[in-house]
């Protein structure tokens, strides 16, 4: 089993910065890459603030925090990832964009490097087909926010080797994660179950069964969920929820996975949830719309 000394993380958003934080706190050198310099600036600030919160709660020493931050390097050049033992991408949830990135990574990364995707639904086998190292491609599905959520879902593609799996499982445990393992089926484990529930909550709202408040309160108090499904959808991002539902619908071919028209309408209107200030609920002043990061 290979020792992981350097990790590359692609994508400076909330997921990418959280994954980078996990790695540097675990004593691993990190290259954090994003094509947007502002995203890297914001990610560095977010990581620093998050680490300091752990220090203030007594969960991390000041010395270890300083050491962690020294391990973080930012870049906009894929060439800087040549030294990485594992490269984790956390970019926009688009198969075409991811496959294009994987083709570039296959050319740039060292021969022994493992390529991992934080995708929540896209086939690892199909992503691996864009490379000449399909045995070294795997899914590492983190949950938001990565420094807090304990779960990590590992997804093996059709050709993922045992050596790749064992290296990534050891890395996840080094991050302090509890690991669950899924075969490469649409939605994997968590989203295969969660997203249809969220979609059904949208149908319940769409057909006038109840108000959004009563739907969420019912699920929180009736099933002991910490967040209601509509509130959770806003937190995840309605565009992400819609993307996963479309993957399930196409991949499994069952009408029960048909995205609710209300969910589609909200996404078409730009009501993407907390990140846009409005989704099912409204969250104050709306930020300016931004295009998804494309590398």
From 117, 118, 191, 243, active-site residue: 191
Is 99 assigned to a binding site?
Answer: no
CB 294 within 8 A of CB 76: no
From 123, 141, 199, 243, active-site residue: 141
From 17, 153, 199, 293, active-site residue: 153
Is 5 assigned to a binding site?
Answer: no
Whether 291 is catalytic: no
Is 216 assigned to a binding site?
Answer: no
Is 50 assigned to a binding site?
Answer: yes
Is 16 assigned to a binding site?
Answer: yes
Is 14 assigned to a binding site?
Answer: yes
From 117, 120, 123, 243, active-site residue: 120
Whether 76 is catalytic: no
Whether 89 is catalytic: no
Whether 117 is catalytic: no
Is 64 assigned to a binding site?
Answer: no
Is 139 assigned to a binding site?
Answer: no
Write the secondary structure of the chain as one string of H (helix), E (strand) and C (coil).
CCCCCEEEEECCCHHHHHHHHHHHHCCCEEEEECCCHHHHHHHHHHHHHHHHHHHHCCCCCHHHHHHHHHCEEEECCHHHHHHCCEEEECCCCCHHHHHHHHHHHHHHCCCCCEEEECCCCCCHHHHHCCCCCHHHEEEEEECCCCCCCCEEEEEECCCCCHHHHHHHHHHHHHCCCEEEEEECCCCCCHHHHHHHHHHHHHHHHHCCCCCHHHHHHHHHHHHCCCCCHHHHHHHHCHHHHHHHHHHHHHHHCCHHHCCCHHHHHHHHCCCCEHHHCECCCECCCCCCCCCCCCC
Is 58 assigned to a binding site?
Answer: no
Is 13 assigned to a binding site?
Answer: yes
Q: Mark the binding-site residues for CoA, compressed into ranges.
A: 50, 57, 120
Binding-site positions read 11-16, 34, 50, 57, 93, 98, 120, 144, 275
Positions marked active-site: 120, 141, 153, 191
Q: Binding site for NAD(+): residue ranges?
A: 11-16, 34, 93, 98, 120, 144, 275
């Amino acid at each position: 089993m290979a020792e992981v000394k350097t990790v590359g993380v692609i994508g400076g958003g909330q997921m990418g910065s959280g994954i980078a934080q996990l790695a540097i706190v675990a004593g691993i050198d990190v290259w954090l890459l994003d094509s947007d310099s502002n995203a890297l600036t914001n990610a560095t600030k977010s990581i620093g603030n998050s680490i300091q919160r752990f220090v203030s709660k007594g969960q991390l020493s000041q010395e270890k925090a300083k050491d962690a931050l020294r391990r973080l390097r930012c870049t906009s050049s894929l060439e800087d990832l040549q030294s990485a033992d594992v490269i984790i991408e956390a970019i926009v949830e688009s198969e075409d964009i991811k496959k294009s990135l994987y083709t570039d990574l296959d050319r740039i990364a060292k021969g022994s490097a493992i390529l991992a995707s934080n995708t929540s639904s896209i086939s690892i086998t199909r992503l691996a087909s864009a490379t000449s190292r399909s045995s070294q491609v795997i899914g590492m599905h983190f949950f938001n926010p990565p420094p807090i959520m304990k779960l990590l879902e590992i997804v093996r593609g059709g050709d993922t080797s045992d050596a790749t799996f064992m290296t990534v499982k050891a890395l996840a445990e080094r991050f302090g994660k509890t690991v669950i393992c899924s075969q490469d089926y649409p939605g994997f484990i968590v989203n295969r179950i969660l997203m249809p529930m969220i979609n059904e909550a949208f149908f319940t709202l769409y057909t006038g069964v109840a108000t959004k408040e009563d739907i969420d309160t019912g699920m929180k108090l009736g099933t002991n969920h910490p967040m209601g499904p509509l509130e959770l959808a806003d937190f995840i991002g309605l565009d992400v929820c819609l993307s996963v539902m479309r993957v399930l619908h196409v991949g499994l071919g069952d009408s029960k996975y048909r995205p609710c028209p209300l969910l589609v309408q909200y996404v078409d209107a730009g009501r993407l949830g907390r990140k846009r200030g409005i989704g099912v609920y409204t969250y104050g002043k709306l930020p300016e719309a931004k295009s998804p990061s494309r590398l």
